[in-house]
């Protein structure tokens, strides 16, 4: 059984159907700039609470977590981007047999396209990816597999994941799980610094409120 079998779900969502993005509003020509723009963007200044680490090891773990989050967030973002489009396409196919045939064909193509990249993910990166998919879509990976495929398929993927101490039922909960809180901190700082492109999340948290919660837990 291949290590990356449980990542097959993510390959589903990385479909080849790309929605066109459009911009609205009048074009503006800024003095000294020959390129028309859709508006004037002012950079927002975000002030974050300082993170304090009791030991050097805690700092090292945070830096390592940051690298892992940067590695997998684009996959979670892409999965959420494709989920709506995928559901729309499936709704256009009336027969159950046709839907199944479409998913099989899509599965083979996407697996070929992304298999090598996803095989490079570590177990820790896989765990973070599962949580971030919940953050971005509002559903656990297990529930999404069950909805798009079958309960049996979800069970098979969950069983495979459990062999590597992973669970597709994991939820993103930064109010109760320290690692998730640190992930949210990493994401919010990365968005502010434009290291990552932010996508509106289905599950949204106020970082200052989370900081207060974890301050009380100390």
At 134-181, the pLDDT tens digits run 999 898 888 887 877 778 777 877 887 788 788 889 999 999 999 999
- pTM score: 0.76
DSSP structural state of residue 75: H
Residue 213 has pLDDT above 90, yes or no: yes
Residue 27 has pLDDT above 70, yes or no: no
Mean predicted confidence (pLDDT) in 207-218: 91
Q: List the domain boundaries for the chain.
A: 5-12+55-217
Q: Are the C-beta atoms of residues 172 and 131 closer than 8 Å to each other?
A: yes
Residue 17 has pLDDT above 60, yes or no: no
pLDDT tens digits for range 44-100: 556 788 888 889 999 999 999 999 999 999 988 887 777 766 767 777 777 878 777
Q: 37 in helix, strand or coil?
A: strand
- Sign, Cα dihedral of 77, 80, 83, 84: negative
pLDDT tens digits for range 170-201: 999 999 999 999 999 999 999 999 999 999 99
Q: What is the 3-state secondary structure (H, E, C) of 163-218?
A: CCCCCCCCCCCCCCCHHHHHHHHHHHHHHHCCCCCCCCCCCCCCHHHHHHHHHHHC
Residue 22 has pLDDT above 60, yes or no: no
Q: Are the C-beta atoms of residues 111 and 13 closer than 8 Å to each other?
A: no
Residue 25 has pLDDT above 70, yes or no: no
């Amino acid at each position: 059984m291949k290590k990356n079998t449980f990542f097959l779900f993510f390959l589903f969502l990385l479909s080849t159907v790309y929605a066109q993005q459009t911009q609205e509003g009048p074009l503006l020509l800024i003095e000294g700039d020959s390129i028309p723009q859709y508006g004037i963007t002012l950079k927002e200044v975000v002030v974050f609470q300082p993170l304090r680490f009791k030991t050097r090891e805690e700092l090292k773990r945070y830096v390592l977590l940051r690298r892992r989050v940067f590695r997998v967030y684009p996959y979670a973002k892409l999965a959420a981007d494709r989920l709506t489009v995928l559901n729309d396409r499936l709704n256009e196919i009336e027969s159950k047999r046709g839907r199944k045939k479409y998913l099989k064909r899509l599965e083979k193509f996407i697996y070929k396209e992304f298999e090598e990249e996803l095989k490079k993910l570590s177990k820790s990166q896989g765990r973070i990816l599962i949580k971030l998919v919940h953050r971005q879509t509002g559903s656990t990976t297990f529930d999404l597999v069950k909805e798009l495929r079958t309960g049996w398929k979800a069970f098979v993927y969950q069983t495979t994941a459990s062999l590597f101490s992973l669970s597709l039922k994991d939820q993103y909960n930064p109010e109760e799980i320290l690692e998730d809180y640190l992930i949210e901190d990493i994401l919010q700082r990365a968005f502010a610094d434009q290291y990552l492109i932010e996508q509106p999340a289905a599950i949204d948290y106020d970082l200052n409120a989370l900081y207060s919660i974890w301050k009380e837990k100390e």
